[in-house]
Structure 1
Amino acid sequence: MPVRIGYAPGAYDLFHVGHLNILRHAKAHCDYLIAGVVSDEMCELTKGRRPVIPLAERMEIVRHISYVDEAVAEVVPEKLDTWRQVGFNVLFKGDDWRGTAKGEKLERDFAEVGVEIVYFPYTVHTSSSMLRRVLTGMTAESAPVAIAASS
C-alpha cells in the first residue's frame, strides 16, 4: 500500500481551533502530513491583505503542532506548482471550498495528476477573519490594560 502524503495548506493566521481541527482530521487521513503555510505575499495576493502574524511566527506555531510532520512555506500562487515542489498525493481543504469556483478548479487540476482532494467540515463559529474583525473593532478604551507591578 503506497504511503499517503497529505498536504494541508492555509494561512494559519491567528491560529485557532478551526486550524487545529483541519490538521487533526488531515493527520487521521494520511501517513505523513505537510502543512503549507501561505506566505505573507501570497496571502496579500489571494486575500487582498497581509496576515496579522508574520510567516516566520506562523511557521513556528504550525511546525510544533503534534499532527504536523513537516511545515513548508507556500510561496507560489498555484497549488500545482506547490505539488511539484513538495510532492503529496492527497490535499486537504475546509468544506467551505466545496462547490466554489476555486474548489472546482482545484479538483480539476489535481485530478489530472492523481491527487485526491479531501474536504473537512469548516469550523463556522471561529475563523481568522472573524478574529481579525473583533481585533480591528477594539478601541484603546476597550483593549485590556496592562497593570505594572508596584515595587
Structure 2
Amino acid sequence: MRVGYAAGGFDLFHVGHLNILKNARSQCDYLIAGVVSDELLLERKGTPPVVPLFERLEIVRHISYVDEAVAEVLEDKLDTWNELRFDVFFKGDDWRGTERGRRLEREFEAVGVEVVYFPYTVNTSSTVLRRALHSLNPQRSDVRA
C-alpha cells in the first residue's frame, strides 16, 4: 500500500487546497493530510490563521479524498515522516526549485520518500482571500495579509 502525505495550512479552504488533495489521492492508496498548527503558521507566515486548527482539521477530515487528517506540529518534515512513515510527499510546485524544496527532496530521498509536486493555484490563495477579507474589514487584525 502506497501512503501519501500532503501538508498545508488549509486556512480559508479553497479550490487550490481541494485540487492538491484530489491529485494526491489519485497517486496513493491512503492519504494523510497534515494540517499545520496555528503556532507553526504564525511562525512561518507572520500572521495567525483565520480559521483555528481544530476547525481546519474538521474541514480537511471530511474531504472525501482524505483518509486521515493530523495536526502538523513538528517543524521538521523528517520528524513528521518518522511518526507517520509515508511513501510519498505531495507539495505545491511553488516549492519546486527553491532551496527549501531541494533540501526537502534530498532529505526525503535519503529515506526513500518520493516528492511529487502539483501545480500551485495562482488565481486563488489563502493570502489573496485574506487580503480581500482585510479590505472589507480593516479593523480585524486576524485577517491581515
Task: Tell me which interval the TM-score lies in, with the shorter structure as reference length.
Answer: over 0.9
How much identity, in percent, do the aligned residues show?
Answer: 67
Provide the residue aligned with 1:148 in structure 2.
none
Question: Who is 1:124 aligned against?
Answer: 122
Counterpart of 1:30 in structure 2 is 28
Q: Aligned with 1:117: secondary structure?
A: strand
1:114 CA drift (Å): 0.5
TM-score by length of 1: 0.89
Q: Deviation at 1:101?
A: 1.1
Q: Does structure 1 residue 18 correspond to structure 2 residue 23?
A: no
Determine if the alignment matches structure 1 residue 5 to structure 2 residue 10. Answer: no
Indicate the residue corresponding to 1:93 in structure 2.
91
- State the structure with more CA Rg: 1
Aligned residue among 105, 109, 121 for 1:107: 105
Specify the alignment match of 1:79 in structure 2: 77
Give, in whole Å, the separation in 2 of the partners of 1:56 and 1:90. Answer: 25
Separation (CA, whole Å) in 2 of partners of 1:4 and 1:56? 27
Number of residue-to-residue matches in the alignment: 138
Deviation at 1:49, TM superposition (A): 1.6
Per the normalisation by structure 2, the TM-score is 0.93
Stretches of structure 2 that go unaligned for 5 or more consecutive residues are 139-145
In structure 2, distance between residues paired with 1:59 and 1:41: 14
